[in-house]
Copies of this chain bind each other. A is one copy, B any other.
Amino acid sequence: MEVTRKNFQSVLPEVEKAIAESDFLSVDTEFSGLHASSSYYISPLDTPEERYQKLRKGSCDFLVFQVGLCTFCFNKENNKYEARPFNFYVFPRPYSRAAPDCRFMCQSSSIDFLASQNFDFNKVFKEGIPYLTSTQESQLKDSLEEKHKQYNLFSSPAFVTPDSGAEAVTTKGPINIPEEHKDFIEGICKTVQEFLDKEGEETLSLPPCNGFVRKLIYQTVKQRFQSGIHLAAKTDEKKQRFIVVTRIKSEDDMKIKEQEKQAAELAEVEGAVGFSKVIRMITHSEKLVVGHNMFMDVIHLLHRFCSPLPENYLEFKALTTCIFPKLLDTKLMANTTPCKEFLPNTVLGDLLKHISCSPFEKPEIVFPENFPQYKLDDSNLHEAAYDAFITGMCFIGMSNFLGNKKDPPVSNVSPDDSVVKPFTNKLFLMRVPEIPYLDLAADDVLPNREHIFHVTFPKEWKAPDLYQLFSPFGNVNIQWLDDTSAFVSLYKKEQSSSVIPALCKRDSKYKIITYELFKYGLPDKESKKRPHSTDSTEEESKKKKVLNVDAPVFVSRSRSATPPTPEENGNKIEEESLAPDSTSGKGSDQKMFEEPVW
């Protein structure tokens, strides 16, 4: 169901009902860009915290254009799932001159990608549902109440700025009218006098004029006509501000008019909270929220509708768990044994096709009327609600598949089933082979990288020179950094310890250091350079953790099985967006190797 500013208020109860009645929810978002600059491109060597910081700094200035929410409810009678997909267009339109005037970033390639999917930008900008973070909301309400208090306190309106929304409280007293304005203001007073003299009209609209002149009108007219009138500023359809004069019969009449105005202003803020209310409903429901490759979605949902992203990584985990108590990333599920054995790739569109046939079982879905009756062709792909919908389907398909493997087998697995539990509150880390997920509920797994080395070498060197250099240790993978440096990683990890002793020679043309040393510098620097959350002892313990559990439940598939392809939402753009910034062959190599290959 398409939801815009036009029908949001009327649809909201239906959304609340759908969430309340659901077994679980799925979400997806469309946004205006991916990386503010190439320095925030993801790397296969990112730790979860490094990845978070890249997204926080490099992606948060982009805007969410569309949020898809799909609720799923299992019906025991007919063994079918009822799906209710909502497609929300959202835009932070300043609801008044007092509201925040958001600046946001767009990335041409992302916009072009959405355009190629026939995305309706006019709908976003003209009918997008507004929203406020809780912080913005309370700030606006506080200053409004403060303004109202002030008004009631010494309510000689000459000393307040009645038309400046929530931003203005008292001013520094009356302004003396500049020469060039005196005639105009006199003219206004004359018009008002005539309006008051002859009965009939309840209100009089003054000609549009700028804030300064309106201010002069306020103080002058108020002083001249005292309690006989009430003034309020309005905005016409052409966005011009003008003053409306209303005839006042008594002081009480005046008070009532003012109370009505103040109530209206508060209601306005209430309305401006807009889409954030939906997120609050989701939080409140404590239902399982499913997404596909959802790290970026979570980032944007938090940042735009809840609260600015914390600098501190652990605070981010806390915030996420507080807003979404139960999260599940279907991309992690699909990339994990046993599902992954049966999934040649896990790009959302393809994943749906895979789970639609054996050994998986395609779930049966019904839509209530007045909801889109989605066909399962790709025609709707990249519409947020459709992507959310098929994400939910994939979740059902995979969890039932896992259920069938149980002894005794379970069909129609519930979101609380033990086969689902291991996947909750873990976000898939795209293209990090050694760290399958970011763990919201526990310390992150930090991999051993003793088999990776940073090598600097002469400009003339090409791959064969490096293969040659490392030949004593078997096959290696090369990740070019630039003309004269690269990461080299051994396939035979057991050889790691022999590399430095064997290859570090005086006066050699090249220089080799461990990844550890390259990344965090010499031990004494460590504390400064390391991700704050891990002091070296923690570090050690985590390394062991990884070393001991050599084949954990979570074995990330190697890159090849999940070639990031255009179908991957936005991912394609991410892929290609590497090209423009890489201006040399190494650049393009680096791009290749952006996808881990060991």
A residues near B, CB below 8 A? 33, 36-37, 63, 91-94, 97-109, 111-116, 120-122, 124-126, 143, 160-161, 164-165, 167-176, 178, 180-181, 184, 208-213, 215, 237-241, 461-464, 467, 475, 478, 480, 558-561, 563-567, 572, 575-577, 579-589, 591-593, 595, 597-598
Counted per complex, copies of this chain come to 2
Q: Which 5 A-B pairs have the closest CB atoms?
A: A180-B560, A97-B579, A168-B588, A171-B585, A173-B463
**Chain B residues within 8 Å of A115, by CB:** 122, 125-126
Give the complex CA separation of A91 and B109 in angstroms. Answer: 11
Minimum Cβ distance to chain B for residue A12 (Å): 22
**Chain B residues within 8 Å of A208, by CB:** 565-566
**Chain B residues within 8 Å of A583, by CB:** 143, 167
Minimum Cβ distance to chain B for residue A505 (Å): 23
A172 near B101 (CB under 8 angstroms)? no
**Chain B residues within 8 Å of A126, by CB:** 115
Give the complex CA separation of A93 and B110 in angstroms. Answer: 10
Q: List 10 A-B contacts (CB under 8 A).
A: A93-B108, A102-B107, A103-B108, A106-B106, A116-B239, A122-B122, A176-B475, A212-B593, A213-B560, A215-B592
Minimum Cβ distance to chain B for residue A86 (Å): 23
Minimum Cβ distance to chain B for residue A531 (Å): 27
B565 near A595 (CB under 8 angstroms)? no
**Chain B residues within 8 Å of A239, by CB:** 113, 116, 566, 572
Query: Among B172, B209, B464, B558, which residue has its beta carbon within 8 angstroms of that of A565?
Result: B209
B464 near A566 (CB under 8 angstroms)? no
B566 near A167 (CB under 8 angstroms)? no
A168 near B125 (CB under 8 angstroms)? no
Minimum Cβ distance to chain B for residue A214 (Å): 9
A101 near B463 (CB under 8 angstroms)? no
Give the complex CA separation of A97 and B91 in angstroms. Answer: 29
Knowing A209-B565, A239-B566, A239-B572, say if A172 contacts B108 (CB, 8 Å). Answer: no
Give the complex CA separation of A588 and B171 in angstroms. Answer: 8
Give the complex CA separation of A92 and B110 in angstroms. Answer: 12
B108 near A105 (CB under 8 angstroms)? no
B585 near A463 (CB under 8 angstroms)? no
Give the complex CA separation of A112 and B238 in angstroms. Answer: 12
**Chain B residues within 8 Å of A107, by CB:** 101-103
**Chain B residues within 8 Å of A593, by CB:** 212
Give the complex CA separation of A463 and B475 in angstroms. Answer: 79
B580 near A101 (CB under 8 angstroms)? yes
Closest to A207 in B: B565
Knowing A240-B566, A580-B94, A583-B167, say if A178 contacts B121 (CB, 8 Å). Answer: no
Closest to A467 in B: B176
Closest to A169 in B: B585
Minimum Cβ distance to chain B for residue A70 (Å): 23
Give the complex CA separation of A107 and B559 in angstroms. Answer: 39
User: Which residue, of A94, A116, A174, A208, has the highest number of chain B Cβ atoms within 10 A?
Assistant: A94
A121 near B112 (CB under 8 angstroms)? no
B582 near A172 (CB under 8 angstroms)? no
**Chain B residues within 8 Å of A100, by CB:** 580
Query: Among B33, B168, B240, which residue has its beta carbon within 8 angstroms of that of A587?
Result: B168
**Chain B residues within 8 Å of A171, by CB:** 585-586, 588-589
Closest to A130 in B: B108
B210 near A587 (CB under 8 angstroms)? no
**Chain B residues within 8 Å of A114, by CB:** 125
**Chain B residues within 8 Å of A173, by CB:** 462-464
Knowing A108-B91, A109-B94, A111-B125, say if A170 contacts B585 (CB, 8 Å). Answer: yes
B103 near A106 (CB under 8 angstroms)? yes
A103 near B37 (CB under 8 angstroms)? yes
Knowing A585-B161, A595-B212, say if A108 contacts B122 (CB, 8 Å). Answer: no
Give the complex CA separation of A36 and B102 in angstroms. Answer: 10
A241 near B566 (CB under 8 angstroms)? yes
Minimum Cβ distance to chain B for residue A534 (Å): 31
Query: Among B94, B169, B178, B581, which residue has its beta carbon within 8 angstroms of that of A597?
Result: B178
B172 near A98 (CB under 8 angstroms)? no
B210 near A175 (CB under 8 angstroms)? no
Minimum Cβ distance to chain B for residue A411 (Å): 33
A174 near B210 (CB under 8 angstroms)? no
B104 near A588 (CB under 8 angstroms)? no
Minimum Cβ distance to chain B for residue A407 (Å): 31
Give the complex CA separation of A112 and B95 in angstroms. Answer: 10
A164 near B475 (CB under 8 angstroms)? no
Minimum Cβ distance to chain B for residue A580 (Å): 4
Give the complex CA separation of A462 and B122 in angstroms. Answer: 47
Query: Among B112, B125, B586, which residue has its beta carbon within 8 angstroms of that of A112?
Result: B125
User: Which residue, of A169, A213, A240, A565, has the highest number of chain B Cβ atoms within 10 A?
Assistant: A565
A104 near B103 (CB under 8 angstroms)? no
Give the complex CA separation of A91 and B114 in angstroms. Answer: 14
A478 near B172 (CB under 8 angstroms)? yes
**Chain B residues within 8 Å of A124, by CB:** 121
**Chain B residues within 8 Å of A560, by CB:** 178, 180-181, 184, 213
